[in-house]
Amino acid sequence: MPDVTLTTLQALKRKGEKITMLTCYDATFAKTLCEAGVELLLIGDSLGMVLQGHDSTLPVTVADMAYHTANVKRGNRGAMIVADLPFMANATVEQTLNNSATLMQAGAHMIKLEGAGWLAESIRLLAERGIPVCAHMGLTPQAVNLLGGYKVQGREEAQAARMLEDAQALEAAGAAMLLLECVPSDLATRITQAVSVPVIGIGAGPGTDGQVLVMHDMLGLSLSGRVAKFVRNFMVDSPSIPAAFSAYVSAVKAVQFPAPEHEFSA
Ligand code: KIV
């Protein structure tokens, strides 16, 4: 068992202490992030972009995710490990169960699925079988072609109301955590207050229960040269990579990150 469990995350939410999460894809960074006090390590399918050099996350396979999850597990020193089900790995219920089992056996403690209300059945089946699920809502990069780009989601009232309803339905289905990406801050805060499970944000303002960033982004590393509005480069004021991770943890815990310039309005 890791030191950080669902019970830890729920207690942090109740206390109002912010939860820290960063992406991680290998053993050495897993150990370094744990030493900095990061509570959740996310093997994100963003590895398709930052490690593999693709222009989206769509080419990432379950085998890629299992490989990196196993590497992170070997370096982990007590954090909770969350692994993404990549594009189309949850196309059917049977695939969802089998692929989630593969990632749990590789070392994940929780599975993250991208989607919305339609995830309810998969989440219920996984939870019944003892697999905690994080539902990734808002901007879901695996659907970038349908969304017409990496755009803020939930700006229109009807879409915002649907997102709030979906969040409550996914909690009722058994989701253990929600993740909101590129959502106006007011909506993210409303959703966080409307559910009892922890809500992690990226580009969702300071009102969520915790924050996540892609590790390469917060270290100021970029293949494309484009930097999203919600990213802060923690290397600017840090003498080393471990110091940048510690600065991230301190800034999230002190609610100094995200700052107003990292937020989206409705
Ligand atoms: O794949 C990933 O790294 C993610 C984060 C952007 C939340 O899903």
Pocket flag, ligand 1, residue 84 (CB < 6 Å): yes
* 43 neighbors 72 (Cβ within 8 angstroms): yes
Pocket flag, ligand 1, residue 45 (CB < 6 Å): yes
Report the residue among 38, 40, 45, 227 best suited for mutation to probe ligand 1: largest number of ligand atoms under 8 A from its CB: 45
- Mean pLDDT score across all residues of the chain: 97
Residue 124 has pLDDT above 80, yes or no: yes
Mean pLDDT of 66-80: 98
The CA-based dihedral angle spanning residues 243, 185, 217, 5, taken in that order and rounded to the nearest 10 degrees? 60
Ligand 1 centroid to Cα of residue 45, in Å, is 6
Pocket flag, ligand 1, residue 214 (CB < 6 Å): yes
pLDDT digits (tens, 9 = 90+) for 168-180: 999 999 999 999 9
Give the torsion sign (CA, 249, 253, 254, 257). positive
- Angle, helix 27-35 to helix 62-75, in steps of 10 degrees: 50
Pocket flag, ligand 1, residue 171 (CB < 6 Å): no
Residue 113 has pLDDT above 90, yes or no: yes
Quick one: what percent of the chain has pLDDT higher than 90?
A: 98
Atom of ligand 1 nearest to the CA of 181: 7
**What is residue 100's predicted lDDT score, i.e. its pLDDT?**
98
CA nearest ligand 1 atom 2, residue: 44
For residues 229 and 251, give the distance between their C-alpha atoms in angstroms, rounded to a whole number: 17
Task: Spot the catalytic one: 39, 114, 181, 263.
Answer: 181
Atom of ligand 1 nearest to the CA of 42: 3
CA nearest ligand 1 atom 1, residue: 44
Atom of ligand 1 nearest to the CA of 45: 1
Q: pLDDT-derived band of residue 197, with 50, 70 and 90 as boundaries?
A: very high
Quick one: what percent of the chain has pLDDT higher than 70?
A: 100
For residues 45 and 17, give the distance between their C-alpha atoms in angstroms, rounded to a whole number: 27
pLDDT digits (tens, 9 = 90+) for 215-252: 999 999 999 999 999 999 999 999 999 999 999 999 99
Residue 1 has pLDDT above 80, yes or no: no
CA nearest ligand 1 atom 3, residue: 44
181 catalytically annotated: yes
